[in-house]
Amino acid sequence: MEDYKLLKPLYAKYKNTGFEVFAVSVDDDQLKWKQTIRQNAYPWINVIDRLGPNAKAMGDYGIYKYPSNYLIDTNGKIIEKDIDMEDLEAFLKKRTN
């Protein structure tokens, strides 16, 4: 959850530069998931796969822990995995200068 708090200001700063966040939850409790999004006012795209740890994305993308994050370029290529917020900010700054 801490990363999401750090991600919100980065998203606000860089969303108009082509940076987008697409959050996939593998929660099996849709009501709790919706409440969390509402309470935290996540401004980005949020979707849910309600199969929990059995979610198709978990196996398809080799996700063994969560939260996990991927930095994907405009061609759909994964260019970074589990990037920390400082590195993400440095990447976004470099890209926009």
Domains of the chain as residue ranges with CATH: 2-96 (3.40.30.10)
pLDDT tens per residue across span 19-32: 999 888 888 888 99
pLDDT of residue 23: 87
User: For residue 2, is pLDDT > 70?
Assistant: no
Residue 36 backbone phi and psi in degrees, to 5: -65, -45
pLDDT of residue 65: 74
Q: What is the mean pLDDT of the chain?
A: 85
pLDDT tens per residue across span 37-74: 999 999 999 988 888 777 777 777 777 777 788 888 88
Distances from the Cα of 31 to the Cα of 34, 49, 59, 82, 84, angstroms:
5, 13, 24, 27, 29
pLDDT of residue 77: 83
- Do β-strands 70-72 and 78-81 pair in parallel, antiparallel, or remain unpaired? antiparallel
- Counting every residue written for the chain, the total comes to 97
Q: Within 13 Å, how many C-alpha atoms sit on residue 7's CB side?
A: 18
pLDDT of residue 1: 52
